[in-house]
Amino acid sequence: MANETIREQAIVWAVRTGDAAFEDWDAFTVWLEQDPAHALAYDELVAGIGDAEEALQALPQGANDAEPPAAGVTRRRWLGGALAAGLALAAGLGAWQLRGGSYAVETAPGETRLIALAGGGEIALGGDSRIVLDRKDARTASLSHGQALFTIRHDEAHPFRLTLGEDTLVDVGTVFDVKRTAGATTVEVAEGAVVFNPRRENVHLSPGQMLVRPADRRGYRIGTVRLGQVGEWREGRVTFQDATLADVADDLTRATGVVFIARADRSRRISGSVLTGPVKTDPRTLGPLLGITVRYSGEAWEIGDR
């Protein structure tokens, strides 16, 4: 797990340093010096893409092709914008370059990714999720859908801001989890605090508190959550508190990569906790754990009331 984490961080840095507009070399140097394995992972990526670059240069050049880069370009700027996107795709990171220095990281159902933030902190992205980040400002992000666990280094002069559609979260030195689905947005705080919509509702959430905002944005509710439960999906566990069958199906699909759909009484509420590993191996184990029926339809696993 540690080697994979370092590899994913190296991919992020390789993509960022390959951008001609990249300037945060101090933060990059700090990351390299934290562990000899960081520099090794980064250099292995550079070498691998360098081989690919040589192969590309060996291809016949068309009359309209761009001029080769001028001599004197530093080794750390060996990766152009198009090749940076190729690196992300080839490495399986799911990072897509957007306009204005922004880039999106996406995951498939059952997949997780760790994103290192310049200057400290990280974002763990859950399955079937998409987040948009900004190379020019590592203190802003936008979660399009899915789930992510944020570990943020607090900077009072430049707080971290997360956009959730028309809503905004501002950190106050924090570890917090956010989930966006078709039905609602849920925020759970493990450490520090976050402020929900500081210019409107201005709701302060402390450790052990959670906020649920319905998709129709008609108000919100505040509840409590066990600290150990915040971000537990990273350890292979999903807990349901008064969740609908549709919510259970969505959460399990995102966490395991196995397709679940709700049938029959969608209004029924479910509470319980399950390990995703056994469920991925045999979805029928959900039945006795949650008191529901589980059957395979030929295309997906259907869950319903008994």
Please say which residue of 231, 249, 266 terminates a domain.
231
The verdict on 24 and 88 lying in the same domain is yes
Whether the pLDDT of residue 303 is over 70: the answer is yes
89-148 tens-digit pLDDT: 444 445 555 555 788 889 999 999 999 888 788 999 999 999 999 888 889 999 999 999
Q: Which residue, 207, 231, 255, sits at the end of a domain?
A: 231
The domain tally of the chain equals 3
Residue among 7, 27, 23, 11 at smallest CA distance from 74: 23
Rounded to 10 deg, the angle between the 81-90 and 2-17 helix axes is 160
* Secondary structure letter of residue 28 according to DSSP: H
Contact (Cβ atoms closer than 8 angstroms) between residue 165 and residue 138: no
User: Could you tell me if residue 206 is inside a domain?
Assistant: yes
Residue 67 lies in a domain: no
- State whether 116 and 199 are in the same domain: yes
Alpha carbons within 13 angstroms on the beta-carbon side of residue 16 total 25
- Asked if residues 132 and 98 have their Cβ atoms less than 8 Å apart, the reply is yes
Interatomic CA distance for residues 295 and 288, integer angstroms: 13
Of all helices (H) and strands (E), which one includes residue 260? strand 260-262
pLDDT at position 4, please?
Answer: 63
Give the pLDDT confidence of 47-56 residue by residue, as tens digits: 665 544 444 4
Q: What is the CATH number of the domain that holds 300?
A: 3.55.50.30
Mean of per-residue pLDDT scores for the chain:
80
Q: Is the pLDDT of residue 221 over 50?
A: yes
DSSP one-letter string for 2-13 = HHHHHHHHHHHH
- Reduced to 3 states (helix: H, G, I; strand: E, B; else coil), residue 225 is coil
Could you give the 3-state DSSP secondary structure of residue 51? helix
Give the structural domain span for 245.
236-304
Quickly list DSSP for 199-248. Answer: TTT-EEE-TTEEEEEETT----EEEE--GGGTTGGGGTEEEEEEEEHHHH
